[in-house]
């Protein structure tokens, strides 16, 4: 089975991200991921933009998929978030968000990932998130 398909199956168990929020894994492999989210009213704050927590959830999920991509074939998840720093750069408005995650440094017990969340409608980067992952 292809790694992205395995990631989708394994991460279905993350029901908050996949069911409540609606995040979809577009790609998983080689310590990288791309996740998408179709925005609707449930994601928006009173100003009509996606809530900061939605952006954080998208980035947290994308980093988990990327960090665990090496272990997905065995169906185990060894990497979890230790801390994260999010930088909001523009309002997250429109129909869709795309989160691309890649490693800045991978190690045996800790790794650092960067997730860039973009609005594909206008090409704007709406947030950048740096997440330290720890192997448990």
Q: Report pLDDT digits (tens) over 36-91.
A: 999 999 999 999 999 999 999 999 999 999 999 988 888 789 999 999 999 999 99
What is the overall mean pLDDT for the chain?
96
Share above pLDDT 70 across residues of the chain, in percent, rounded to a whole number: 99
3-state secondary structure of 24: strand
Q: What is the chain's length?
A: 136
Helix, strand, or coil (residue 30): coil
Q: Which domain holds residue 55?
A: 3-135
Evaluate if pTM is beyond 0.85.
yes
Q: What is the pLDDT of residue 1?
A: 66
Whether residue 96 is predicted with pLDDT greater than 80 in this model: the reply is yes
Whether residue 30 has pLDDT greater than 90: yes
Please enumerate in sequence order all residues whose Cβ is within 8 A of that of 118, keeping only pairs 6 or more positions apart, or say none: 97, 98, 99, 100, 124, 125, 126
Go through 24-50 and write b for each residue having 16 or more CB atoms within 10 A of its CB, e for each that does not: ebbbbbebbbbbbbebeeebeeeeebb
Average pLDDT on 14-18 reads 97
If one counts the domains in the chain, the total is 1
**Average pLDDT in the 91-102 region?**
97
CATH number at residue 43: 3.10.129.10
């Amino acid at each position: 089975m292809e790694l992205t398909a395995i990631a989708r199956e394994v991460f279905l168990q993350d029901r908050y991200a996949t069911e409540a929020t609606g995040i979809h894994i577009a790609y998983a492999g080689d310590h990288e991921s791309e996740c998408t989210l179709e925005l609707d009213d449930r994601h928006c704050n009173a100003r009509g933009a996606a809530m900061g927590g939605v952006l954080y959830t998208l980035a947290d999920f994308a980093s988990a998929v990327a960090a665990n991509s090496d272990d997905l074939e065995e169906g185990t998840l060894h990497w979890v978030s230790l801390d994260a720093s999010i930088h909001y750069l523009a309002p997250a408005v429109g129909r869709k968000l795309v989160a691309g995650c890649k490693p800045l440094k991978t190690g045996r017990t800790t790794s650092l990932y960067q997730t860039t969340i973009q609005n594909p409608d206008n090409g704007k980067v709406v947030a950048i998130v740096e997440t330290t992952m720890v192997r448990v």
